[in-house]
Amino acid sequence: MSQHPSPNHRLLSISTAPSLSASALSRRQFLKRAALASGVAAVPTLIPSSVLGLNGAVPPSGRIVLGGIGLGGRGSGVLNWMLPERDVQFVAICDAKRQQREAVKRMVDNKYGNQDCKTYPEIREFLATRTDIDAVLIATGDRWHALAATYAMRAGKDVYSEKPSSMTIAEGQAVVETARRYGRIYQTGTQRLSEANFVFCIEMALTGRLGRVHTARAHIAPWDAAAMRHDWLPAEPQPAKEEVDWDQWLGPCPWRPYNSAYVRGGWRGHYDFHTSCIGEWGAHTFAQAQAGIGCLETTAVEYKYVDNPYGDGMETVFANGMKMFLHREGWWRGSCGMTFEGTEGWAAAADGYSRPDVSSPALLADFRKITQDYMARTGRPMSHVRDFFNCVKSRRQTVANPVVMHRSMSTVHAANICMWLKRDLKYDPVKEEFIGDAEANQLRSRAQRAPWTV
């Protein structure tokens, strides 16, 4: 699929397009004369069926050209969801680690049966060089998600970003503003917003089938704590830049000595790199819960401190009176769960459920109808990556668009700040600032290390 022009370039594209007069040659006459001029009039031209879009193939003009940034274990998993899409062609991987670049290239080349996937060690070179790329999958560590997304959107790419898609409230604001300014399509990887069990529960809450819904419950990760480490791991010999570009790996974070544990995933639990146990799963579950209580485009206004290391049991309150509680364990049988409670029943879902848990079996009677009605009404598929690719083509907003990401992640960040300061907080989602708390407001952003800045 050709790269989408920005609004500023559309007039140029139209004004420079060649016009066709009524006396112009017909397509058949033109091809005949061209063949005669080349001396091969009697030799038929063989055009691959894939180019013509035959036999189920998608012609190049209809393909989305896809690249990747920082595709480790999670990123490779998402890429495996994307590669079977017939209108998507993955062409290049950018990663600060040579081993990971080569692993993704092998996977992609094996899929396509060629050696065409290109590798790039540096993100700025990658984005500047590959002007043919329509969209990028970003699955770096947390520290890079928002920065890579803003870089990519400024370069004219649409973005599918893994979660948590911002480290701070300020980073989320930058993603929203960049997507708006450059007219880019963006999807954050809260894929349960596109899975039947979760959609069913959200629809049950929104359509009144649970009565008047008053409470949502959101799962936070049952490991680590809200208060993260501020020290760093001991220095190890730094590898060659072509093996691991350590400066780029750190990106906007403060300079820290190299330690191989970081690049193997040992960055979690460190303030420099992570969003705590609240952000680890809350990046998913807050969006899920906020969807069911009609608060996808806002942020909680009250945060009530709980005296434990995790935020377990914290009550957050939204301007419409809805409450969302944070829980670690005991409420769900699987991960990333959510629950909605109303005056006439409750519904809950988590990973691994064959069907949602409900207060009465009768609530499941219309499961299929409710999910099908949702798809018919919204035009959304039960596939998060397919929703993204559909929106790349249509230019419609995704189900997990920048505002959905930013507002739910602002709730994550505010809950973290509440735990760090060990006091109740009030937040104004219109001004996007804490009310009467200068110390909390300072924590809405973090310093970024040059040149890796928004």
Residues 358 and 286 grouped into a single domain: yes
Q: What's the alpha-carbon Rg for the chain, to the nearest Å?
A: 25
**How many Cα atoms within 13 Å fall on the side-chain side of residue 372?**
4
Domain at 411, CATH number:
3.30.360.10
Q: Are residues 205 and 115 in the same domain?
A: no
What is the tally of structural domains in the chain?
A: 2
Tokens of 398: 């995704």
In a shared domain, residues 298 and 430: yes
Q: Say if 41 falls within a structural domain.
A: no
Same-domain check for residues 348 and 417: yes
| Helices 196-206 and 367-378, axial angle in degrees (round to 10) | 90
Beta bridge partners of 97: 244
Tell me what pLDDT residue 128 has: 97
Pair 106, 178 in one domain: yes
Residue 60: asked if its preceding bond is cis (omega within 30°), the reply is no
CB atoms within 10 A of CB 320: 10
Same structural domain, 113 and 199: no
Q: What is the pLDDT of residue 28?
A: 41
Q: Where do we find the tokens 């069913």?
A: 200
Structure tokens belonging to residue 326: 């944070």
Q: What is the pLDDT of residue 60?
A: 72
Look at strands 186-188 and 64-69 and give their pairing.
unpaired
**Which letter does DSSP use for residue 362 in this model?**
G
- Same domain, yes or no, for 138 and 220? no
CB count, 10 Å around CB of 118?
A: 16
Residue 305 shares a structural domain with residue 320: yes
Residue 261 resides in a domain: no
Each residue's pLDDT expressed in tens, for the chain with a length of 454 residues: 544 434 333 233 223 233 333 333 444 443 444 444 444 434 444 544 444 455 556 777 789 999 999 999 999 999 999 999 999 999 999 999 999 999 999 999 999 999 999 999 999 999 999 999 999 999 999 999 999 999 999 999 999 999 999 999 999 999 999 999 999 999 999 999 999 999 999 999 999 999 999 999 999 999 999 999 999 999 999 999 999 999 999 999 999 999 999 999 999 999 999 999 999 999 999 999 999 999 999 999 999 999 999 999 999 999 999 999 999 999 999 999 999 999 999 999 999 999 999 999 999 999 999 999 999 999 999 999 999 999 999 999 999 999 999 999 999 999 999 999 999 999 999 999 999 999 999 999 999 999 999 8
Whether residues 63 and 111 share a domain: the answer is yes
Domain co-membership, 301 together with 335:
yes
Q: Does 311 share its domain with 291?
A: yes
Q: Give the span between the Cα atoms of 282 and 27, in whole angstroms.
A: 58
The verdict on residue 50 lying in a domain is no
Q: 186-188 and 213-219: which strand pairing?
A: unpaired
Residue 245 CA to residue 269 CA, distance in Å, equals 22
pLDDT of amino acid 14: 27
Do 197 and 170 lie in one domain? The reply is: no
Neighbours of 9 (CB within 10 A): 11
Select from 165, 191, 217 the last residue of a domain.
191
Which H helix or E strand runs over 63? none
Domain with 104 in it: 56-191
The CATH number for 179's domain is 3.40.50.720
